Structure 1
């Protein structure tokens, strides 16, 4: 006999039709697959459209079909134990895999709910309501989250950088690297405020960084469990979450970097052999000593010390013995002066001692005599005893000069005279020790004629962007057309100009001529870039620099953003209030300020943050031997990083080779100039160079 067709689960009649329509609407609306199977054969009595579509049947065509036929043998065998439990009256859930209509394997969550009816004193199961939920996407998402968390866990354990997760400052988790870095266990970290582990002087900075949700790296210090401070670089990232966002902080121990920077700064200012200050350090200290002596109306003295017959020690005992002798002399000099005095090794076998707060020349003579006796005492180098004698030249401020260069040069001249007079003695400077005075007067006369009769000229050196080669500026460099020697550079006449009161008119001419010429080039449609002019410390101190610049800009028509001034570290250190007021006036005007020859000074690091500055120039002496010289590379790296941390542009001078440019780009140095890019050029050649410049490079 044919199988009995399934009966309609809803009674007949108009009301029944309405209920059936409502049931169908509800069933087709719910976001799960739904079907009802009648026992014992488990034939489908009802299915919503979602269930029928997944099983690739029509809603009517699926009725009367058994669950085994619909699901297929493989799925049926998986679900059969659950069906048997459901027929026994138990609500059962089961997860299984089945191919969907598109052929893709889907993860289905079956919920089998028996229909229970009392029959003959017991409960019977006339049918099972089947709810099927496609949980493929949910499980895949959960799997992705687990995999992501596992990757994060592995990364957190593998990285040497410390990781801390926190919400509102409260630490939620930390990796093993952070625990090793701080000395705290995870239990000691979790639940604590992350700011408890920051050094007090950086705590407000860290709190403000977190409050604003900033995500750039910055430097600070945290406290180790044993109490010592650890310099770190930290960067925070905000990670959104459904409940609430939290922050992850990546911490890098930069102790080695700081030590390298300190070493680079030390090497920039000290002699690596004797550990004494070098010539650069000496010149800045001498400028400070002179300024202090002038304010207090005290005398200071420069003692230039040269070891007699040192060459014989090197030739007979070897350079290692010579180095030992230099180190011992350095130690004796340091021990033989007051704490307020200063000892430097300026090269070879030459030392310089600065004596401050002297009452008169007699005190300088007594100090020099004591040092000579101390140096003469016997040295034991290896198995050899030595008794070297020094020749000492002395110049006194203000008797023998006012400027650092002048005082050092005259002490050197006195030392040379002491050597010629029999060695092992000391002599004070006298005017006849510096060559022919008539020649000096003649050079002064020629320079005055040059200043007031237009015998000076400007050359211009391009400054480019390291990464792209694009022209970003020109530096104006003064030259003197000497009647006998031809074209000479500033090193040959600027010291004379400063000592003879000519630097101010030269500086005024350079400023006006550079602004006039640049405005003329702008009017021709040439590259719209600024021009930089150099100002000496004397000009900065004696002139109303800001007022003069404002007048020159107005007279020439050059806009302020196209003028830059370059000053030395010595300028920053002298007359701090006057300097700050002048720089602030220039900033308000729109004129940029560059610190020239950076790295050749001493304590200007403390001044940088006080003044409105725009650029730091890396001195050419540091660039010249890169990339071969590791010490110079370290110094350049430190200066570039310092500039970046202070939000200043870094400029490398004296770039000669492609290798140097490549190194500078890798270090993040932004700008460069030098003969390897373009030499200083006169007006005619500069104009031709600008005309030939590709549009993309301007």
Structure 2
């Protein structure tokens, strides 16, 4: 029996094989390597290391009756996928049996292996066509099931395959399986990202995506931000519930065809679309787009009301306000009759007066110490133990009425008051949390929100350090929460700031995870310890299969990366049980408690 090369030094060859496998893993086991590129490199390295003439990756078809060659490498001439290489062969009974039972199928003398070739005419013909005299085939198994095979083939002189060769070939089969698994997970993550960004019926971007686009367009660094316009298109629903899906799909297709290159188009409500024209637009241009949209949707067979809003009318740059103004204008158009268009006018200044009143109330509350910090507990779904709490701002009116932060936080943000308020909340919450009782050597973590305005402050890191130093709260017990909006303006700058905060010993959480358009990307680029799963994905549990799939995907990401996940907005026992079953164990919401004063928090959860 001839050998292709002198392989008496088995230890040296084993080391060479191991080195090749380690180098190969670095090349193909990462997100930047496509599946086809991985197959090509695996075949190339296998052929070079084993000195095999031909190496091919074959996969079973869904019927499991045929093998198809999806990549072939010829060592002579270093050829990938030469003409005619993508063959399909019927799977013979003897070869199929060996494939299912053996770690490798080793044949030094194929001509003499009558049990294999006589039982498999297709294989015998393939071997004869290509002059293959020896082979070393490694099954590819995923989750214990054979899904394909990597064929190492010798042409001309017969080849004795050493024990080291066989072990290496088996590892190559495992590498192909791992490459396929990485590709499958990548597709699942891409699907998760797609669901984050799109409306499933029309496949258009959703409202969250449009808000992010509008937010970017309204940044102060954009000199033309005052020329940004939003157009809201409200369709009249049909008389029969559930019959509108074909109409909405057709309307989306018409709008995409007409404006897809000139504007960002999104489905923002059940029967509403919105357009955000790219760049600066004059009022006449926006009106032209609105009127063309109205004509297109009328032709689709349904009455429509159109509203336009301009960024130049905003008191402060706000994507949410811009879209809301356009929607309010469409509501006025609808009240005036069908198939009309309205522009949001100066009456919105009444809203500005209310904002000024809220700002005045905030300043007075700060001066009179009527801003309070309440705490919503975070609970372990497995045993009900108290794991932490989120600090939430409240405003106590002079008559005793309590106002939640959502009533005034926009005004605090736009006026700049959020900076001193945030600094005070941080210091007060750290001082309170310092005295929370520990159980089993672990005290609850404190989570404090940082707004986008706070995150931009040069003094942020020193403010956090000062609060920790003055209150004595252990650094590892403080977690700072940021939304994607706070990180969107400058991802590189955000990474630097987060790195400095992490250097202090505090933890970082990404709040409202899943509501933005690039949440998954931030997990890779930024030093984040915790993701807080947005309540919108919890609300549909356990019945909504999309919400369940998304939550399960997030739990999988958590397991693979070590990220901590907290589910927000848990209101029912069924939601809690569904989260636990899907692999999420930390949660907060009204099922456990709303935000509470510290005394009530300790009375409910602080006892032993």
Q: TM-score band (shorter)?
A: 0.5 to 0.7
Equivalent residue for 1:366?
Answer: 288
Equivalent residue for 1:595?
Answer: 510
| Cα shift at 1:270 | 2.2
Equivalent residue for 1:408?
Answer: 323
48, 54, 60: which is aligned to 1:180? 60
1:342 is paired with a residue whose SS is strand
| CA shift in 2, pair 1:387/1:608, >3 Å | closer
| Cα shift at 1:586 | 0.6
| Cα shift at 1:445 | 2.0
CA distance in 2, matches of 1:170, 1:657: 60
| CA shift in 2, pair 1:483/1:630, >3 Å | farther
CA distance in 1, matches of 2:530, 2:523: 11
Q: Which runs of 5+ in 2 are unaligned?
A: 1-42, 82-139, 145-162
522, 529, 535: which is aligned to 1:614? 529
| Cα shift at 1:339 | 2.0
| Cα shift at 1:171 | 11
> Is the CA contact (8 Å cut-off) linking 2:50 and 2:165 kept in structure 1?
no
Within a 5 Å distance, the mapping from 1:490-505 to structure 2 comes to 490-505=405-420
> Is the CA contact (8 Å cut-off) linking 1:277 and 1:343 kept in structure 2?
yes
Within a 5 Å distance, the mapping from 1:414-429 to structure 2 comes to 414-429=329-344
Task: Confirm whether residue 289 of structure 1 aligns to residue 203 of structure 2.
Answer: no
Equivalent residue for 2:266?
Answer: 344
| CA shift in 2, pair 1:543/1:492, >3 Å | farther
> Is the CA contact (8 Å cut-off) linking 2:512 and 2:532 kept in structure 1?
yes
CA distance in 2, matches of 1:498, 1:275: 34
> Is the CA contact (8 Å cut-off) linking 1:302 and 1:411 kept in structure 2?
yes
Task: Confirm whether residue 489 of structure 1 aligns to residue 415 of structure 2.
Answer: no
Equivalent residue for 1:474?
Answer: 389
| Cα shift at 1:668 | 2.5
Task: Confirm whether residue 266 of structure 1 aligns to residue 169 of structure 2.
Answer: no
224, 230, 249: which is aligned to 1:327? 249
| Cα shift at 1:234 | 9.1
| Cα shift at 1:517 | 1.0
> Is the CA contact (8 Å cut-off) linking 1:269 and 1:277 kept in structure 2?
yes
| Cα shift at 1:471 | 3.1
Structure that is richer in strand per residue: 1
| Cα shift at 1:611 | 1.0
| Cα shift at 1:675 | 2.5
2:358 is paired with a residue whose SS is helix
RMSD, aligned α-carbons: 4.0
CA distance in 2, matches of 1:672, 1:651: 5
| Cα shift at 1:613 | 0.8
Equivalent residue for 1:443?
Answer: 358
Equivalent residue for 1:561?
Answer: 476
Task: Confirm whether residue 576 of structure 1 aligns to residue 498 of structure 2.
Answer: no
CA distance in 2, matches of 1:295, 1:643: 40
Task: Confirm whether residue 432 of structure 1 aligns to residue 347 of structure 2.
Answer: yes
Q: Which moved more, 1:253-262 or 1:427-436?
A: 253-262
Within a 5 Å distance, the mapping from 1:660-671 to structure 2 comes to 660-671=575-586
> Is the CA contact (8 Å cut-off) linking 1:293 and 1:357 kept in structure 2?
no
Equivalent residue for 2:233?
Answer: 305
1:358 is paired with a residue whose SS is coil
Number of residues of Structure 1 aligned to a counterpart in Structure 2: 473
CA distance in 2, matches of 1:545, 1:562: 18
Within a 5 Å distance, the mapping from 1:126-275 to structure 2 comes to 179-180=59-60, 249=174, 251=177, 254=181, 259=187, 261-275=189-203
CA distance in 1, matches of 2:562, 2:553: 14
> Is the CA contact (8 Å cut-off) linking 2:484 and 2:510 kept in structure 1?
yes
> Is the CA contact (8 Å cut-off) linking 2:386 and 2:605 kept in structure 1?
no
CA distance in 1, matches of 2:258, 2:295: 10
| CA shift in 2, pair 1:512/1:233, >3 Å | farther
| Cα shift at 1:524 | 13
Q: Looking at CA atoms only, which structure, 1 or 2, has the larger radius of gyration?
A: 1
CA distance in 2, matches of 1:505, 1:538: 11
| Cα shift at 1:686 | 1.4
> Is the CA contact (8 Å cut-off) linking 2:377 and 2:389 kept in structure 1?
yes
Equivalent residue for 2:122?
Answer: none
| Cα shift at 1:513 | 1.1
Q: Which runs of 5+ in 1 are unaligned?
A: 1-163, 198-230, 236-240, 380-385, 694-698
CA distance in 2, matches of 1:187, 1:257: 21
> Is the CA contact (8 Å cut-off) linking 2:416 and 2:453 kept in structure 1?
no
| Cα shift at 1:321 | 4.2
| Cα shift at 1:435 | 5.1
1:628 is paired with a residue whose SS is coil
289, 297, 314: which is aligned to 1:375? 297
CA distance in 1, matches of 2:265, 2:142: 36
Equivalent residue for 1:673?
Answer: 588
CA distance in 1, matches of 2:551, 2:71: 43
TM superposition score normalised by structure 1? 0.60
**Higher relative contact order, chain-length normalized (CA < 8 Å, sep 6+):** 2
CA distance in 1, matches of 2:499, 2:275: 37
Equivalent residue for 1:160?
Answer: none
| CA shift in 2, pair 1:615/1:587, >3 Å | same
Cα distance per residue 1:161-205 (max 9 Å; x no partner): xxx9x9997699xxxx9752795679989999xxx99xxxxxxxx
CA distance in 1, matches of 2:309, 2:580: 46
Cα distance per residue 1:544-565 (max 9 Å; x no partner): 3212111221222222212110
CA distance in 1, matches of 2:388, 2:311: 43
| Cα shift at 1:432 | 1.4
Q: Which moved more, 1:462-471 or 1:502-511?
A: 462-471
| CA shift in 2, pair 1:399/1:436, >3 Å | closer
> Is the CA contact (8 Å cut-off) linking 1:598 and 1:619 kept in structure 2?
yes
CA distance in 1, matches of 2:334, 2:378: 46
> Is the CA contact (8 Å cut-off) linking 2:566 and 2:584 kept in structure 1?
yes
Task: Confirm whether residue 529 of structure 1 aligns to residue 444 of structure 2.
Answer: yes
| Cα shift at 1:539 | 2.0
